[in-house]
Structure 1
Amino acid sequence: MSLIEQTEQAGVVTLTLNRPEALNALNTDLIAELGSVLAALEAHAGLRGVVLTGAGEKAFVAGADIAEMRDKTPEQARYFASQALTVLKRLETLPVPTVALVNGYALGGGCELALACDWAIATDNAFFAQPEVGLGIIPGFGGTQRLPRRVGPAMALDLITTGRRIDANEALRIGLVNRVIALDERDATIAELTKQFSRNGPNAMRAAKQAVHDGQDQDLDSALALETSLFALGFAGEEQREGMSAFLEKRKAAF
């Protein structure tokens, strides 16, 4: 049985992590399969967006598989973390918008997986935590680096050094997620995201993501120059002409 269910509509791919008996915990096999799926999506010319969620109602991802990790040596642990980091970097650098739709528990590696997406939506039964210090370790899938970039270093250290769980509303308050929905609105939310992504210029969305991601590591003047270059490049293709013509003609653009 595949550990990841994949569906596609209008160029938007929904990936459902499918280990519900283990609360979708990340083990070596699931991480490897996610890497293969993401590699295929990198070559998907018609891709417009990716939504990542978990099977069932209890968990997005309840963490890394503790039973698999318990007896690892330091070098084995380094290799395991390196594999996961490579896959999460692949998710982070997909050229299209990526959204984590967090249903239930997003603990440890699950929170880190959500952080590798561009932004997140939480169902009202979601809980987030980086509880690794309670296991005698620290986050190893990017949590010490992506979490402070999302919520600020003080809040990140609060969560990482206490290991406390926060609910969906607190996650919204601190900026860990962008919105909170009812659990039974999950399918409708995916459908609405698909609608929104499919009606926008695909090259424009890719350029917007590139501008935001690449600009973060530059000084403001350099980042603004990058934006200007990508803005101007948009006028080199048919997408801009169709979008503006459709607006003036009061019709939907055919992207």
Structure 2
Amino acid sequence: MTTLFTLPIPATNGTGRIVCTNPPANSPSLKDSPETDVSKIYILTFTSAPDNRLTPSFISTFLLALDIIEHRYPKGVVISTSGISKFYSNGLDLEVVAQTEEFLERYLWVLFRRLLTYPMPTISLLNGHAFAGGFMLSMYHDYRIMNPSRGFVSVNELDFGVPLQTPMMAIFRAKLSPSTFRDLILEARRVGGKEALERGIVDGVGGIEETLGFVGERKLVGKANTGIYGIMKEEMYGGVLGGLDDHKGNLAWREGVEERKAELDREGAKRVEEWGKGEKGKAKL
């Protein structure tokens, strides 16, 4: 592979990095699509021990890598994957999130928005587990290829009592069938590669060679050439984009839902109290 650039990830004691490479020109997976220009396939491999948490420094470095590709290199295809075999990403570090002012608006929503509207095809190569925010990161790519024999995807916030906000839910709603969406969210189901393919969560199974074959088969390298690829995605995912751009509105909507829920809860408790009085009167008879 040809290395184009390497970016250190701050706050990782010098060990974290994102490396951008081109695949080998003689990749066997591209033998049936010789027209595919591998110099326009950008593989971003991120390594931030132990499990690629989406911290401010990780996100800022990822955004910089996307900026460099867009503004310094020809349009092509971006593939993101992990240099850690066990994990694609284990999601948010909740302690860091709690210590970072406006983390969602300043970091996470920005990264999600950038990927959702990126002016080239993007593919997430899931070589290992992608949990919670890491799974969402993958879903904000255009396509997903997953290791068929190792790793699970899961939205496991239900298990530890952290509700999902609008942009976290919206991407699953936009891209998955209603039953798969339900099972992931309300059962916190862990899904492996083969089932993920069957349920439409991913577009293929395999590793880097299968991903390159996917790029060649679908002729993705040339899709961004007309300059409207990002615009098409903005229109496709307008509802998701609106949620990303209206954080205050999302919070106001949630506040209204909570107020209405409290009102209904009070009414329900009152009905139960009245019912209890009636039951007590029957018992005396």
Aligned-partner residue type, residue 111 of structure 2: V
1:160 aligns with 2:162: no
- Alignment of 1:95 with 2:119, yes or no, is yes
CA distance in 2, matches of 1:179, 1:108: 21
Deviation at 1:89, TM superposition (A): 0.8
Query: How many Å apart are 1:207 and its aligned residue?
Result: 4.1
Report the residue type matching 1:122 in the other structure. M
Report if the CA contact (8 A) 2:121-2:220 is conserved.
no
Q: TM-score, normalised by structure 1?
A: 0.71
1:137-177 deviation per Cα after TM superposition (whole angstroms, max 9, x unaligned)? 12358330101111134432321122221111221122110
User: Over aligned residue pairs, what C-alpha RMSD do you find?
Assistant: 2.7
Bigger CA radius of gyration: 2
Conservation of the 8 A alpha-carbon contact between 1:112 and 1:141: no
Could you tell me how far apart the structure 2 residues matched to 1:43 and 1:31 are? 18
Distance in structure 2 (CA, Å) of the matches to 1:169 and 1:49? 24
- Match of residue 81, structure 1, among 95, 99, 104: 104
1:5 corresponds in structure 2 to: 19
Identical amino acids, percent of aligned pairs: 22
For structure 2, list consecutive stretches of 5 or more residues without a partner in the other structure: 1-13, 23-37, 240-285
- Aligned equivalents of 2:221 and 2:194: distance in 1? 30
User: CA distance change for structure 1 residues 142 and 54 in 2, over 3 Å: closer, same or farther?
Assistant: farther
Contact 2:145 2:211 in 1 (8 A): no
SS in 2 for 1:37: helix
> Would the aligned equivalents of 1:60 and 1:102 in 2 still touch at CA under 8 Å?
yes
Give the structure 2 partner of residue 54 of structure 1: 82
Secondary structure at 2:59 match in 1: helix
Deviation of 1:23 after TM superposition, in Å, equals 1.6
Aligned to 2:154: 129
SS of residue matched to 2:225: helix
Work out which of the residue numbers 168, 171, 180 in structure 2 matches 1:143: 168
- Check conservation: 1:108, 1:139, Cα contact below 8 A: no
Please tell me whether residue 177 in structure 1 is matched to residue 206 in structure 2.
no
- Structure 1 match to 2:140: 116
Q: More deviation in 5-14 or 122-131?
A: 5-14
Please, what TM-score do these two structures have when normalized by structure 2?
A: 0.64
Provide the residue aligned with 1:106 in structure 2.
130
Tell me the equivalent position of 1:228.
none
The CA deviation string for residues 182-238 of structure 1, in whole angstroms up to 9 with x for no partner, is xxxx2323443565657646515x5466446525659xxxxxxxxxxxxxxxxxxxx
Structure 2 residue identity aligned to 1:96: M
Query: Which of 208, 216, 227 lines up with 1:187 in the alignment?
Result: 208
Counterpart Cα distance in 2 of 1:128 and 1:199: 27
1:203 aligns to what?
225
Uncovered stretches (5+) of structure 1, i.e. residues with no partner:
219-255
